[in-house]
Amino acid sequence: MNMHRIRPLALCIFHHQGKILVHQFHDAVAGRTIFRPVGGGIEFGETSHEAIVREVREELDAAVTDLRLIGTLENIFVWQGVSGHEIVRVFDGRFEDSRLYERDYLDGCEDDGAAFTVRWLGRESFTDDVVLAPDGLGELLEGMGLLR
């Protein structure tokens, strides 16, 4: 990550029964766990909507439907001891395959081949030490009734 560049990011909120689908990360420098919804960087020439469709297809091998922009957040943070700055487009969306909502978790794969797991978590899962990122996301989702 370039420390002196603002990164455009698109995230999708998949929600089901008051829980959202999130990816777990661990910041070894700060010693805390961070959860973030599915998504990633917006590539040059790509809309944020297109980025969501691409990221979900690439990472989870799944198709998305009913994408709707629900907010934009600005996130200034420190990750692994390095400062970062993101403008985050947050979408609500649905999986085309409704069977994915019946699973407790989904396996995914990053561009570099690293495997990961995303899980359905509710509001009670997030604390001061186990953070939902980006900043302001929890409040946005609670206000819309998407996270309980």
As its CATH architecture, domain 7-143 has Alpha-Beta Complex (3.90)
The answer to whether 94 touches 129, Cβ cutoff 8 Å, is no
Q: What is the mean pLDDT of the chain?
A: 94
Q: What would the mean pLDDT of 98-123 be, rounded to a whole number? A: 94
Domain ranges of the chain: 7-143
Q: Are strands 19-27 and 32-41 parallel, antiparallel or unpaired?
A: antiparallel
pLDDT in tens, 45-83: 999 999 999 999 999 999 999 999 999 999 999 999 999
pLDDT band at 5 (very low <50, low <70, confident <90, very high): very high
pTM: 0.93
Q: What would the mean pLDDT of 116-142 be, rounded to a whole number? A: 94
pLDDT in tens, 84-95: 999 999 999 999
Q: Could you tell me which of 66, 44, 45, 63 has the C-alpha nearest to residue 54?
A: 63
